[in-house]
Structure 1
Amino acid sequence: MKKVLLSAVALLAFGFANAQEEKANEGFAKGDVFVSGAVTLGSAKTGDFKANAFEIAPKVGYFVTENVAVGASLGFQSLKWDNGAADATNSGFGLGAFGRYYFTPASKFSLFAQLGLDYTTLSDEFDETDGTLYGSKFESKEVGFGLGAGMNYFVSSNFSIEAGVAVLGYSSNDNGGDGADKTNTFSFGGDWRAVTFGVNYKF
């Protein structure tokens, strides 16, 4: 009986120690790496109209200090549609860099501020079945930066839920260049209807 009790106590102690260790590992520390991103596929069809979409956007961050993380992102997206009389392909490729300041990184819950810079190339190809616009192509480049705010909440020692909202943003699109007027866009204020959510994995 004593052996059974001792075994039960040892098992409980081991479980408690593991739980405490996992809890202690929640949060971020200097040298930690986290990854996130998106992979999506989609399609739609109505009558003669059909469309297919694809996106992949990995992101990685590294804590250079206890509070500061820097990172980079890649992105590629493609949308193809056909309505029977015409078809088009819209695609984009982007590179990004960001820096974050976490206020309580070692905690289960932490707020952060983020500054990001992005460069994107956009391409639109359009064809008509009668050949009037066969091979028509338009390309443009866009540079933008943004200031945002967000939070991380650890649900385990490795996984955290992240939510973010844009606060300040500016972008400039060359509209194809060759003397074309640029489109400059400025935005300020958090739109709480456009909060982004994601999951991070910490190494």
Structure 2
Amino acid sequence: MKSFIALFAILLFSLISNAQEESETFLIEKDTWSLGGFLSIGGSNREDTDMTPYNDLDSFSFSIRPETGYFVSDNLALGLSLGYSYGRTKYNGSELRDKSIRHNIMVSPYARKFFAISPKIAFTLMGSLEYSYDRFENIGDSDLDYTETNIYGVNLRPGFSYLLSDKFTIDANIGNIYYSYLDRLNDGREDMSSSNYGLNLSSNIYLGIRYYIN
């Protein structure tokens, strides 16, 4: 909700400002490069002696997802997003496992179109193909040693961009239309496959900043 209020305030401020001065339409020119992405690092420590050993654990996670795009025409970019994430959980006192480790690699080519609303604001549509490989390992006396999962997906994400300057935009995604197919191996043997599709227009709004080179 706070993200939604912040985005609404930005849009309202821009509309009021642009009503008071004349400017050209929202434009990111052909042959411009864009750079974006995110980095996150986190961890937790939890101890609960009254419950199972799985509630006494230490965890750490790391994720990085750089993204670059090239504008093949005005307000239309083709790009590529790459991602890697790592997670580790240590189970203190558990007789079944010592720790678990997860690695995930992601590749996603995309196309992103800007539709001008005002000189500073554009509605955006981003279509992407996504592939990710996920490996989850158990270390310790467990019946399951590891799983490997391949996920293939198609996404269409609506959003908005606010032009801070000719070098920066604030971007917001407000949901997605998606299809994904999952194929999982359990200790090297085929375990399961599934497909999912749907429309997600929840109240979650994801904000980011993108840098442009022109």
TM-score normalized by structure 1?
A: 0.79
Verify the 8 A CA contact 1:109 1:153 in the aligned structure 2.
Answer: yes
- Report the aligned-residue RMSD: 2.3
Q: 1:63 aligns with which of 56, 71, 94?
A: 71
Aligned twin of 1:143: 152
In structure 2, runs of 5+ residues without a counterpart are 1-22, 48-55
Aligned twin of 2:162: 153
- 1:98 equivalent in alignment to 2:98: no
In structure 1, runs of 5+ residues without a counterpart are 1-22
2:73 alignment partner AA: T
Change (3 A) 1:106 1:62: farther
Q: 1:190 aligns with which of 201, 207, 212?
A: 201
CA distance in 2, matches of 1:44, 1:54: 12
Aligned twin of 1:28: 28
Aligned twin of 2:13: none
Number of residues paired by the alignment?
177
1:112-127 alignment runs, 5 A limit: 112-127=124-139
Kindly state the Cα deviation for residue 90 of structure 1 after the two structures are TM-superposed. Answer: 1.3
Kindly state the Cα deviation for residue 149 of structure 1 after the two structures are TM-superposed. Answer: 0.6
Kindly state the Cα deviation for residue 112 of structure 1 after the two structures are TM-superposed. Answer: 1.2
2:30 alignment partner, SS class: coil
TM-score normalized by structure 2?
A: 0.76
Hey, which bits of structure 1, 4+ residues long, moved more than 4 A? none
Kindly state the Cα deviation for residue 179 of structure 1 after the two structures are TM-superposed. Answer: 4.5
2:38 alignment partner, SS class: strand
Structure number, greater radius of gyration: 1
CA distance in 1, matches of 2:86, 2:117: 36
Verify the 8 A CA contact 1:27 1:105 in the aligned structure 2.
Answer: no
Kindly state the Cα deviation for residue 101 of structure 1 after the two structures are TM-superposed. Answer: 1.6
Aligned twin of 1:171: 180
1:123 alignment partner AA: R
CA distance in 2, matches of 1:53, 1:137: 18
- 1:202 equivalent in alignment to 2:203: no
CA distance in 1, matches of 2:200, 2:139: 40
Kindly state the Cα deviation for residue 60 of structure 1 after the two structures are TM-superposed. Answer: 0.8
Change (3 A) 1:188 1:135: closer
2:109 alignment partner, SS class: strand
CA distance in 1, matches of 2:81, 2:200: 24
Verify the 8 A CA contact 1:27 1:106 in the aligned structure 2.
Answer: no
